[in-house]
Amino acid sequence: MDFKLIIRKIEGRLSAEEQIIFDQWYDESESHREYFRKVSSGYNKPTLQINKDKAWLRLKREISTPVKPRYNWRYGVAASLVLLALASIAFFMNNKDDTENLVAEQVIEAGSDKAILTLADGTEVDLQSGQSYNAQGVTSNGEFIKYEGQQEKLEYHYLTIPRGGEFYMELSDSTKVWLNADTRIKYPTKFIAGQPRQVELVYGEAYFDVSPSAHNHGDHFIVATGAQKVEVLGTEFNIRAYKQDRNTTTTLVEGSVQLEVADQEISMKPKDQVTFNYESKGLSKKEVVVHDYISWKDGFFSFNESNLASIAENLNRWYDVQIVFADEEVKNIKFNGVFSRELGLNKILNLLGKTSNISYEIEDNKIEIKQKGE
C-alpha cells in the first residue's frame, strides 16, 4: 500500500477506492495498525529531541575494540573511570611482580555472558558465547537476547543468570536491561498497547534503560519485585533485590520514577536511592554517587568506603565462589577502588592485600580471608 494513503487517511481525504485499499492493509496485521498509529501521532509534529552525545557514547561502545568482544553491548565507559581503574591498579602494582605465594595457587577466572532462557512451555535454552538462538521475533547471539515484538501471542519468558554470569537483553518495546550475576527476570514476549508494560525482577540485580512511554502509546513501564513496584515513564535506574539481602535498593540515574511499596508511595529524582527493609518495612531515601551502584553494568567493581563483607558478596556472585572470613574483624576493613570485572579473582584479592593487612587461601571455590600473620 502506498504511504500517501496513510497521510490522506489522517487528513480524511481518502477516495472510496483508496478507502478499500487502506482498510485491507489496516486489517491485515497488528504491525500495520501500530505503524498507522505511530504516523498519526507523529505526522506534522514538531521536531524530535535528539541527544547526539548520548547516541555517540552508545555508538562508541559498538566500535571501540574492547579487550574481549563481550563488552560490545555496553555503554562506553567514561574515560575517567578507566583511567581511575588503571591508575589505582598501577598504583598498587609498584612495578613488582605480585606473585608472593611461591606455591602455585589456583586461578579463578572472571565470569562471562551466560543465561538460561525459559520459554512459556517450560523449555530451557542455554545461552552463552558461541551459541545462538533464533525463534519468531527472538534472537540471541549468546551475549545478548533481543525481542522484536513480532510474536503472535503474548507469552511469559524467564531469563535466569547464574552466578558467574551476566547478560543483556532488549525487550520488545526496545527497553534495555542489564542483568547481573545470580538474577532472574520474568517478562512478556510482547506488550499490549494500552496496558502497562510490566516485568518482574524475581530476584537479583538489574539496570533498566526504559523506552519512553511516548514511544509506547503512553503506556507506563512497571518493574515489580517481591516487595515493591516501580512505575516509570521512560528513565534509567538500577534495582537490587538479592535473595540474601534483607532489602530492595532502587537507584535512579535519569528521569523520574514512582515507587510503590507496602501501601506507601515515594517519588524519586535522579541520584536518589530508596531502600526498603523487609523486616522493619521501613523506607529510607538518600542521595548517592550513582556511579558506585551501576558500574557493574559497565564492567567494573566500584568500592567506595565499602567493607570487605559487602565486597565479598559481590565477588561471590561474579566469580561463583564462597568467601569466608577467619574473624569478624576482617569483615569490617574498608576499601576504595575501581576494578575491572575482567580481572581474575586472584588479581583483585592481591590488590586488596597490597593496601591492607589481609591474605587469602583458595581451595576449590572456597576462599578464606584472614589478617596477615594469623
Binding residues vs another protein (CB under 8 A): 1-4, 6-8, 11, 13, 25, 28-29, 31-32, 35, 38-39, 41-44, 47-48, 50, 52, 55-56, 58-60, 62-64, 174, 211-212, 215
Give the nearer residue to another protein in terms of CB position, either 140 or 247. Answer: 140
Please state the φ and ψ torsions of residue 281, each to the nearest 5 degrees: 60, 20
Q: Among 161, 154, 144, 146, which residue's Cα sits nearest to residue 202? A: 161
User: Per the structure block, which three cell numbers stand in for 255?
Assistant: 528521569
CB of 37 to another protein, least distance (A): 9
Give the nearer residue to another protein in terms of CB position, either 42 or 282. Answer: 42
| CA dist list (Å): 72 to 57, 60, 62, 77 | 12, 9, 5, 11
Give the nearer residue to another protein in terms of CB position, either 211 or 306. Answer: 211
Give the nearer residue to another protein in terms of CB position, either 92 or 168. Answer: 168
CB of 133 to another protein, least distance (A): 21
Give the nearer residue to another protein in terms of CB position, either 215 or 370. Answer: 215
CB of 25 to another protein, least distance (A): 6
- DSSP secondary structure letters along 13-76: ---HHHHHHHHHHHHH-HHHHHHHHHHHHHTTPPPP---HHHHHHHHHHHHS--SSGGGTTSPP
Give the nearer residue to another protein in terms of CB position, either 13 or 334. Answer: 13
Distance CA 362, CA 97 (A): 20
CB 86, CB 92: distance < 8 Å = no
CB of 87 to another protein, least distance (A): 22
Please state the φ and ψ torsions of residue 335, each to the nearest 5 degrees: -130, 155
CB of 371 to another protein, least distance (A): 47
Distance CA 35, CA 107 (A): 54
CB of 183 to another protein, least distance (A): 24
CB of 150 to another protein, least distance (A): 9
Give the nearer residue to another protein in terms of CB position, either 8 or 331. Answer: 8
Distance CA 342, CA 112 (A): 9
CB of 336 to another protein, least distance (A): 31
Give the nearer residue to another protein in terms of CB position, either 1 or 107. Answer: 1
Residue 276: count other Cβ atoms within 10 Å of its Cβ.
23
CB of 56 to another protein, least distance (A): 6
Give the nearer residue to another protein in terms of CB position, either 26 or 133. Answer: 26
Please state the φ and ψ torsions of residue 307, each to the nearest 5 degrees: -85, 160
Return the sign of the alpha-carbon dihedral for residues 313, 314, 316, 317.
positive
Residues 205, 211, 213, 217, Cα dihedral to 10°: -120
3-state secondary structure of 137: coil
| CA dist list (Å): 316 to 164, 298, 307, 310 | 8, 18, 14, 10
CB of 11 to another protein, least distance (A): 7
Length of the chain: 374
Give the nearer residue to another protein in terms of CB position, either 38 or 246. Answer: 38
Distance CA 238, CA 253 (A): 8
